[in-house]
């Protein structure tokens, strides 16, 4: 298998020395698909060189055993798309199929492509191996609609809670604001992370990938912070300054995310030639195929594993909180009752948010596992693709419904209509939910001392 770079590629090289990487894969093990890979898979990469949309094609030639003539129209020159985890043919075409056959029964196929990535010659048995335009439009429509709804919902939630004094006070309120802000940045980056005008420029691609990586990790840090704060409030309420805890939590959430991102950059740079390309370590660390995301295996070590750990620790905190609620005696007094009710309310909200985020990742893992086993043509894989796009894109909008729209609706019902008489009760409950945790801890401590005396 041969690959020839056109003059247009060399014109984009700005340095006297340019590292070119070629990799030939023996089989298709790393590229699971139902299509028949007729040739070896060859990969070519030029770091720091934009190889998208070339005016002159890259020429790839491969010697393959041709099928019968009735199947020649199924032969495709394809590349591996890291975003959809499937073989695609956009920008590649079959230029020539040699009619001559050598003594081994092999013929030469010539492919032309206008970009560099992982190439192979395929015999496509299934018309859904490359998703149709309609399939892609459905997935993109669902994703973009959900992402835009989430961006609007999170923005309204942040503005609403910042404009109301009772929603700016207290540990749970501040944690929610941080979570909404982190998710808002992630969704904004999701709108553009795979756009050509971002991918083609290393600086913008790095910035988008970096922000999405950093704030995704930070959002899970704040989910864990909510679980830990509830545990401290209910189980370890004494000798705990929750205002100081919030300061420490802020440093830990954003600091831990910074350490993980730096670790990802260091691991990316360990395989680069620092002497020849000092800027390659940073600028190309978030370019993976035709998207600006964390590269593999960094995505395993610095995204999947940290999120799995945070989710597991959160579940442990929830178990202890539920156990503490069940053990709370009815004779705890007024302070204990108020604290118990507030923790129950926060627990329901935290479980909903963590479940929403966790289920999304579980669906994504199942989708990838199914693609590895059945390729991209299975109807089950397609169903999980739609489900993942829908759930992943509406997380922010669901948070808006839970923490903004629900509050406004409760206020409306308490000030008008048949629930007007319960307005005073709602006001007291709202103040209880937004009261600082230090006051609740003080009430509980006083009650405990009285009972001890």
Contact 80, 45 (CB under 8 A): no
Given this model, what pLDDT does residue 163 score?
A: 86
- pTM of the predicted protein model: 0.64
Residue 77 has pLDDT above 60, yes or no: yes
* Chain mean position to CA 332: 43
Q: What is the mean pLDDT of residues 434-443?
A: 40
Q: What is the mean pLDDT of residues 6-28?
A: 70
Task: Tell me the C-alpha distance between 247 and 413, whole Å.
Answer: 36
pLDDT in tens, 352-406: 666 666 666 677 666 666 655 555 555 666 677 777 777 777 777 878 887 777 7
pLDDT in tens, 173-192: 888 899 999 999 999 998 88
Given this model, what pLDDT does residue 256 score?
A: 94
Residues 117 and 186 in one domain: no
**When comparing pLDDT for 447 and 234, which is higher?**
234
Residue entry with tokens 């839970």: 402
For residue 66, is it within any domain?
Answer: yes
Given this model, what pLDDT does residue 422 score?
A: 46
Number of domains in the chain: 2
Distances (CA, A) of 125 to 28, 33, 208, 376: 16, 11, 37, 12
Q: Which of 77, 103, 123 is the last residue of a domain?
A: 123
For residue 128, is it within any domain?
Answer: no
**When comparing pLDDT for 376 and 172, which is higher?**
172
Q: What is the mean pLDDT of residues 299-307?
A: 84
Contact 380, 132 (CB under 8 A): no
For residue 325, is it within any domain?
Answer: yes
Residues 17 and 139 in one domain: no
Helix (H) or strand (E) holding 199: helix 196-199
How deeply is 419 buried, as exposed, middle or buried, from its count of CB atoms within 10 A (0-12, 13-18, 19+)?
middle
CATH number for the domain spanning 22: value is 2.60.220.50
Q: Domain range spanning residue 361?
A: 133-452
Task: Among 22-26, 45-49, 300-304, name the one with the lowest average pLDDT.
Answer: 45-49
**Structure-block tokens of residue 166:** 């009772």
For residue 104, is it within any domain?
Answer: yes
Residues 385 and 278 in one domain: yes
Contact 64, 107 (CB under 8 A): yes
Task: Tell me the C-alpha distance between 437 and 435, whole Å.
Answer: 6
Beta pairing, strands 58-64 & 41-45: unpaired
How deeply is 234 buried, as exposed, middle or buried, from its count of CB atoms within 10 A (0-12, 13-18, 19+)?
buried
Residues 113 and 39 in one domain: yes
Q: Which of 4-18, 200-214, 384-398 has the highest mean pLDDT?
A: 200-214
**219 phi, psi to nearest 5 deg:** -60, -40
**When comparing pLDDT for 453 and 243, which is higher?**
243
- Which residues, other chains included, contact 333 with Cβ-Cβ below 8 Å and sequence gap of 6+? 447, 450, 451
Residues 25 and 150 in one domain: no
Residues 9 and 105 in one domain: yes
**When comparing pLDDT for 81 and 171, which is higher?**
171
pLDDT in tens, 31-42: 766 667 777 788
- % residues pLDDT > 90 (the chain): 9
For residue 99, is it within any domain?
Answer: yes
- The residues that bridge with 288 in the sheet, in sequence order, are 291
Instruction: Provide the b/e sequence for 114-128 (b: ≥16 CB within 10 Å).
Output: bbbbbbbbbbbeeeb
Task: Tell me the C-alpha distance between 182 and 168, whole Å.
Answer: 17
Residues 17 and 97 in one domain: yes
Residues 65 and 143 in one domain: no
Residues 223 and 181 in one domain: yes
Residue 251 has pLDDT above 80, yes or no: yes
Q: What is the mean pLDDT of residues 73-101?
A: 76
Contact 435, 169 (CB under 8 A): yes
Long-range interactions of 269-276: CB distance < 8 A, separation 24+: 272/47, 273/19, 276/17, 276/19
Q: Which of 123, 145, 163 is the last residue of a domain?
A: 123
For residue 333, is it within any domain?
Answer: yes
Q: Which of 123, 158, 182 is the last residue of a domain?
A: 123
For residue 207, is it within any domain?
Answer: yes
| CA dihedral sign, ordered 138, 142, 143, 145 | positive
Residues 160 and 276 in one domain: yes
Task: Tell me the C-alpha distance between 448 and 180, whole Å.
Answer: 36
Given this model, what pLDDT does residue 341 score?
A: 65
For residue 303, is it within any domain?
Answer: yes
Residues 111 and 151 in one domain: no
Q: Which of 39-43, 307-311, 341-345, 440-444 has the highest mean pLDDT?
A: 307-311
Q: What is the mean pLDDT of residues 313-336?
A: 67
Contact 337, 343 (CB under 8 A): no
Residues 322 and 416 in one domain: yes
Cα-only R_g, the chain: 28
How deeply is 252 buried, as exposed, middle or buried, from its count of CB atoms within 10 A (0-12, 13-18, 19+)?
middle
């Amino acid at each position: 298998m041969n690959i020839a770079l056109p003059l247009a590629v060399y014109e984009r090289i700005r340095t006297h020395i340019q590292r070119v990487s070629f990799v030939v894969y023996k089989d298709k093990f790393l590229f699971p698909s139902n299509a028949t890979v007729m040739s070896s898979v060859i990969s070519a990469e030029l770091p720091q060189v934009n190889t998208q949309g070339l005016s002159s094609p890259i020429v790839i030639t491969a010697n393959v055993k041709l099928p019968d003539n009735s199947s020649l129209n199924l032969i495709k020159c394809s590349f591996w798309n890291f975003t959809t985890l499937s073989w695609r043919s956009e920008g590649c075409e079959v230029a020539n199929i040699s009619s001559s056959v050598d003594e081994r029964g092999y013929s030469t196929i010539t492919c032309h492509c206008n970009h560099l990535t992982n190439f192979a010659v395929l015999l496509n048995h299934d018309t859904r191996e490359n998703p149709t335009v309609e399939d892609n439009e459905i997935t993109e429509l669902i994703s973009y609609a959900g992402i835009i709804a989430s961006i609007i919902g999170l923005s309204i939630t942040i503005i609403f809670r910042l404009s109301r004094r009772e929603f700016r006070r207290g540990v749970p309120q501040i944690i929610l604001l941080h979570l909404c802000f982190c998710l808002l940045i992630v969704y904004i980056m999701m709108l553009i992370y795979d756009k050509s005008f971002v991918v083609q420029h290393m600086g913008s691609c790095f910035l988008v990938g970096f922000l999405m990586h950093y704030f995704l990790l930070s959002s899970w840090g704040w989910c864990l912070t909510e679980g830990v704060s509830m545990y401290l409030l209910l189980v370890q309420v004494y000798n705990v300054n929750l205002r100081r805890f919030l300061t420490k939590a802020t440093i830990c959430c954003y600091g831990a995310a910074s350490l993980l991102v730096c670790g990802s950059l260091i691991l990316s740079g360990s395989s680069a030639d620092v002497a020849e390309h000092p800027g390659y370590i940073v600028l190309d660390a978030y370019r993976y195929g035709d998207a600006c995301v964390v590269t593999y295996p960094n995505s395993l070590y610095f995204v999947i594993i940290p999120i799995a750990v945070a989710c597991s620790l959160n579940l442990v905190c929830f178990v202890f909180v539920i156990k503490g609620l069940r053990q709370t005696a009815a004779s705890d007094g007024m302070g204990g009752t108020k604290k118990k009710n507030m923790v129950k309310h926060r627990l329901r909200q935290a479980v909903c948010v963590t479940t929403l985020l966790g289920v999304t990742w579980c669906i994504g893992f199942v989708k990838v596992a199914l693609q590895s086993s059945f390729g991209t043509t299975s109807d089950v894989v397609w169903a999980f693709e739609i489900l993942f796009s829908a759930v992943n894109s509406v997380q922010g909008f669901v948070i808006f419904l839970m923490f903004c729209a629900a509050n406004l609706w409760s206020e409306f019902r308490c000030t008008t209509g048949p629930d007007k008489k319960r307005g005073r009760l709602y006001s007291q409950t709202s103040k209880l939910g937004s009261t600082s945790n230090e006051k609740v801890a003080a009430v509980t401590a006083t009650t405990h001392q009285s009972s001890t005396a």
